Structure 1
Amino acid sequence: MTTTTPRYLVPFHPKRVSHYFTDVLVLGGGIAGLRAALEVDPSLSVLIVTKDKVLESNSTYAQGGIAGVLDDEDRYEDHAADTITAGGSLCDPAVVDMVVREGPACIRELIEWGTAFDEEDGQLALGREGGHGRSRIVHALGDSTGREVIRAVVERARSRENIQIWQNEFTLDLITHEGECRGALASDQKHGRTLIWAKQTILATGGVGQIYRESTNPKVATGDGLALAIRAGAQLRDMEFMQFHPTVLYIAGSGRSLITEAIRGEGAYLVDRSGNRFMADYDLRGELAPRDVVSQAIVSQMERTKSPCVFLSLSHLDAGFVQKRFPGIAQACAKFGIDITKDRVPVRPGAHYMIGGLTVDVDGRTTLPGLWAAGEVTSSGLHGANRLASNSLLEGLVYGKRSGRGASNRALEMPDRFTALNLENPRLPLSEPLDLEDIRNSLTSLMWRSAGVRRDETGLAEAVEMIDLWSGYVSLHQFDHPAGWELQNMLVVARAIAQSALARRESRGVHLRMDYPQTDDVHWNRHLAYPIT
């Protein structure tokens, strides 16, 4: 027996691992993974494996909402046009049209499942965010949409007898045999090492924001799913396109909190340290310009004013409305003595959303047979080179549903014969102990400096060289704890980002090369597959 994975992250012996069999394995408990699980035929068994608690995901922390054509005066064509304007020619028009048209039904489905979206006069309250030509964003609890959506969907999943959820379970590697995905290797204190055998596997592990020093993402977002896919031989693409959210609460010494784009959609101003409202100097759309434009403008203004941040100002808006519309942000800022109805809120960009990921077709099928994917871990063609605000939960819903249906149909066609292969991964000789925290901090600082909002050949080449150096000795270790596994995964994904950004010699969407500032359609109006050949 041969496997396309050359070496698993941990040692194990056939007699010292447990085996678990399921029809469909879902890796990840965000909106995409949960929606996929709910689409699987009730006659099939489903196992959802989450790295942390099921409520701890990028989806949970989504503030803005879900974009959808829900107003009688709105049109699918307008939403599609806004999406393509933001993402450019790398958007797949057929995928954009499909997601935009299927999205509203998915939103109504959430309402049927108990999601309490905000209303005005008995109708859905529709907000507007940067890049959207109309108000079409449904939101919940003001600025805590993700939390409310995940609550409702988790309750729905737990009501299904065929769905099990394993929480706090670290997925170490995908199991591959004869060119197909056969499940995954996982580990936790309860189950120990477990080989999970599945007819079909769905990867929905979310993003990579923790690879950067400044990020909106929760601590679990270390790119594990992308690293699993790379080691298993699946194709990725567009890894250079990391979206940076322009407004992240900047308080020195504290964790970074997302300040939703909806706050600018409702009329907040961006000002510099002198109180100058500067966005009009960079784009006619002002504060409602797409995220990449706003992020780049903020970095330029910080440099021009020699300041570590800029500020959001809401003092000109009605205080009661601000408190009602953004209670979560108001509470987060109040912890630092900031009253958002009166005081300026210090912000700067942070890594937010990975646009690139696994190459998938319209049903979420990857290039590795037996493996499907949905959500932020994928490159579906919806976002192109820059994601339009509030299209992420929308994509998770639509592709979660499609990948769940596809995996379910394929599993139904397969016989109920589960075979545990006689896999073994020997222990390597013990190596010198490593200061993992020091390497991780060095990596995140390097990525922020060299592969952040602004990039150039010198910095990116340095990043690839340093990552290769660190990987040369970190990859030789076999760790027995998540900190080591996360670091190994972060190095794999960071290299993919840096190498892809180095290869794309132009500026497009969220990818800004200072040494190649123009968009080059002649040579680069195409997707860039990874591994790069």
Structure 2
Amino acid sequence: MKKTDIIIVGSGIAALQLARQLQHHFYVRIITKDKINSGNSYLAQGGIAAPLGLKDSVNAHFKDTLEAGRYHQDEDGVNQLITDGKKIVQSLVDEGAPFDRKEDGSLSLGMEGAHSAHRILHSGGDQTGKYLVKYLLKSLSKKKVEFIKGEMVYELVKDDKGHCCGVKTKDKSDSIRYYYAAHVVLATGGIGGLYSSTSNHPAVTGDGMALAFLAGAKLSDMEFIQFHPTLLWQDGKTCGLISEAVRGEGALLLNDKGERIMEGVDPQLELAPRHIVAERIYKERQMGRNVYLDISRIEDFQAKFPSISALCLKHNISIEDGMIPVSPGCHFMMGGVVTDHAGRTNIPGLYAIGEVACTGIHGANRLASNSLLEGLVYGDRLGKFLIQKGVSRSPQFHSTSDQIKEGQSLNIPFQSADIKEGMMNRVGIIREEDGLLAHLNWLKAQPLTFHELLDFNSREEIHMYFMWIVSLLVTESALLRKESRGGHIRSDFPHEDHDQWFKRKMVLQNNDGRLRVEYHEQNETKIYA
């Protein structure tokens, strides 16, 4: 048995920012099921949104965030995110974080969809996530922060009082290990790997949400999934992200007839909110038309977008021709584990930050480049909270033999591809009742429950079980919300229904093996941690 003060599950921006704050006070263990760079933070091409421009303001950024999220947010939370975020990003700038600058030395602030001002900070052109992850890693103490790589957390351990006090993991040989701490933090990212077309790393399939749900945590807004409009499309599949910053630099969206597909759709044209652009591209493709990003107007494209240029070269797409074929794919999960402003869940000792959490700040559709901002803010905020709270309670340990539970291993009669195709085709960009019901019935027909014993299953079997859980929660939520709002688009309920659904949330919880759904008029959770 191994002990530390605080366990963080996941190794993205939120996790690293939290560890950076905690290392001066606690011993921290970061557990990641793959490599440190096997996550969405490292892949992030877009930048960090912060109102640092001379003509920008917190209020303008606040309004843009609410508009993109279709006013489904906790407005006080949004305002505090941007206020705190501005200070944190400015602090990173002041300490020398590698943000791109103009020739005169000032910050190079970019424009992205649904923003009213140039406020996007980038690093390395389109390699912001990679640069920021490396920068934060360099700031961590090897004596105070330990990384456990290649181990998959498959169960949250609770003591006799219901406090989360540790985790159980499996390494790549399926050996079981135990780690205990007074505080456990989920920073596992989103669910993009549940879809056949996604910008996400394939390892990102909602593990943290499944872990929290099985432990009794509350989840919400699971129907709100953002599909990024522009993934590279080649040989009948998506091959990687084409950042929104490309459209911010002036790229146009054209169909194979040469028509600008966003004309007459939204006043912001190519820079409309993501759900609007993604829906339009999807409809064009449903009519049998290809859609392209016309980048011919962008000067020095390869210097501005080195990773995108390399991606196109890898897939034999000519940058010189100026036409990049694109299609939408799953990009970001607005919902997740319900937390308060500091990241506390309804389970004592369990916290969630980053994309795995549902804080109420993104609403029905996240504003571009607010995700890295969220990771920085909530990592910092939870760090300050835990430093103030301290580690006064010793977790209750049990012997290894006591923890292994007797029972039959899971029978998984489907492949991960079955989940991915079903989610893409029936719970994807545009949804309707028949498709949602068909997928939900297929999920419920599987011989699985919410109280399976996982000790004797392989990592791959547990991985598919977690995919099944999260898919069910997303599909159930999408079926119940009978309106279209933000990233949740129903063809059979094509409009926002303010009377029935404005700021109304569904909260999902595992109630002794049964799914309980409650309706809340605002994001709220009882805090014990």
Q: TM-score, normalised by structure 1?
A: 0.91
Pair 118,278 (structure 1): closer, same or farther in 2 beyond 3 Å: same
- Counterparts of 2:455 and 2:416 in 1: how far apart (Å)? 17
1:491 aligns with 2:473: no
Which residue of the partner structure matches residue 526 of structure 2? none
**Residue in structure 1 matching 2:198, options 204, 208, 215:** 215
Which residue of the partner structure matches residue 529 of structure 1? 507
Contact (CA 8 Å) 1:471, 1:488: kept in 2 or not?
no
Contact (CA 8 Å) 2:409, 2:456: kept in 1 or not?
no
Which residue of the partner structure matches residue 509 of structure 1? 486
> What is the 5 A alignment of 1:471-482?
471-472=447-448, 480-482=457-459
**Residue in structure 1 matching 2:376, options 388, 394, 397:** 397
Which residue of the partner structure matches residue 500 of structure 1? 477
- Counterparts of 2:286 and 2:456 in 1: how far apart (Å)? 41
Q: TM-score, normalised by structure 2?
A: 0.91
CA-CA distance at 1:418 after TM superposition:
4.4
**Residue in structure 2 matching 1:290, options 270, 273, 278:** 273
Pair 430,454 (structure 1): closer, same or farther in 2 beyond 3 Å: closer
Relative to structure 2, which stretch is displaced further, 86-95 or 337-346?
Answer: 337-346
**Residue in structure 2 matching 1:453, options 429, 444, 458:** 429
Contact (CA 8 Å) 1:202, 1:407: kept in 2 or not?
no
Relative to structure 2, which stretch is displaced further, 460-469 or 227-236?
Answer: 460-469
Contact (CA 8 Å) 2:405, 2:453: kept in 1 or not?
no
Which residue of the partner structure matches residue 203 of structure 1? 186
Which residue of the partner structure matches residue 6 of structure 1? none
Which residue of the partner structure matches residue 326 of structure 1? 305
Contact (CA 8 Å) 2:410, 2:461: kept in 1 or not?
no
**Residue in structure 2 matching 1:78, options 60, 63, 66:** 60
Which residue of the partner structure matches residue 368 of structure 1? 347
**Amino acid of the residue matched to residue 463 of structure 2?**
E
Quote the RMSD (CA, aligned, Å).
2.0
CA-CA distance at 1:473 after TM superposition:
8.4
- Counterparts of 1:254 and 1:212 in 2: how far apart (Å)? 12
Contact (CA 8 Å) 1:312, 1:346: kept in 2 or not?
yes
**Residue in structure 2 matching 1:249, options 232, 256, 272:** 232
Pair 317,180 (structure 1): closer, same or farther in 2 beyond 3 Å: same
Contact (CA 8 Å) 2:408, 2:456: kept in 1 or not?
no
Contact (CA 8 Å) 1:80, 1:97: kept in 2 or not?
yes
- Counterparts of 2:94 and 2:459 in 1: how far apart (Å)? 38
**Residue in structure 2 matching 1:155, options 133, 138, 157:** 138
- Counterparts of 1:48 and 1:127 in 2: how far apart (Å)? 33
1:462 aligns with 2:438: yes
**Amino acid of the residue matched to residue 311 of structure 1?**
Y
Q: How many residues align?
A: 505
Contact (CA 8 Å) 1:200, 1:411: kept in 2 or not?
no
Which residue of the partner structure matches residue 524 of structure 2? none
- Counterparts of 1:35 and 1:340 in 2: how far apart (Å)? 36
> What is the 5 A alignment of 1:75-474?
75-111=57-93, 114-120=96-102, 121-157=104-140, 159=141, 161-177=143-159, 178-189=161-172, 192-252=175-235, 256-304=239-287, 306-307=288-289, 309-318=290-299, 320=300, 322-412=301-391, 414-415=392-393, 417-422=394-399, 423-429=402-408, 439-472=415-448
Contact (CA 8 Å) 1:199, 1:411: kept in 2 or not?
no
- Counterparts of 2:446 and 2:370 in 1: how far apart (Å)? 36
Contact (CA 8 Å) 2:223, 2:335: kept in 1 or not?
yes
Contact (CA 8 Å) 2:408, 2:453: kept in 1 or not?
no
Q: Structure 2: state its 5+ residue gaps.
A: 510-516, 519-529
4+ long deviations beyond 6 Å: none
Which residue of the partner structure matches residue 16 of structure 2? 34
Contact (CA 8 Å) 1:24, 1:408: kept in 2 or not?
no
Identity of aligned residues (%): 37
Which residue of the partner structure matches residue 5 of structure 1? none
Determine helix, strand or coil for the equivalent of 1:281: coil
Pair 167,222 (structure 1): closer, same or farther in 2 beyond 3 Å: same
Pair 189,439 (structure 1): closer, same or farther in 2 beyond 3 Å: closer
**Amino acid of the residue matched to residue 50 of structure 1?**
T
> What is the 5 A alignment of 1:1-16?
none
CA-CA distance at 1:191 after TM superposition:
9.9
**Amino acid of the residue matched to residue 182 of structure 2?**
K
How far does the alpha carbon of each residue in 1:66-115 deviate from its partner, in whole angstroms, 9 at most, with x for none?
A: 00011122111000010011112211111111111111222233345653
**Amino acid of the residue matched to residue 276 of structure 1?**
E
Contact (CA 8 Å) 2:50, 2:121: kept in 1 or not?
yes
- Counterparts of 2:174 and 2:444 in 1: how far apart (Å)? 34
**Residue in structure 2 matching 1:520, options 487, 497, 504:** 497
- Counterparts of 2:462 and 2:448 in 1: how far apart (Å)? 15
How far does the alpha carbon of each residue in 1:188-246 deviate from its partner, in whole angstroms, 9 at most, with x for none?
A: 15893222111011110001101011111001101100000000000010000010000
CA-CA distance at 1:281 after TM superposition:
2.8
Relative to structure 2, which stretch is displaced further, 124-133 or 418-427?
Answer: 418-427
**Amino acid of the residue matched to residue 418 of structure 2?**
S
Determine helix, strand or coil for the equivalent of 2:331: strand
Relative to structure 2, which stretch is displaced further, 400-409 or 267-276?
Answer: 400-409
How far does the alpha carbon of each residue in 1:19-43 deviate from its partner, in whole angstroms, 9 at most, with x for none?
A: 1111111111000011111122623
Contact (CA 8 Å) 1:249, 1:258: kept in 2 or not?
yes
- Counterparts of 2:253 and 2:147 in 1: how far apart (Å)? 43
**Amino acid of the residue matched to residue 382 of structure 1?**
I
Contact (CA 8 Å) 2:33, 2:150: kept in 1 or not?
yes
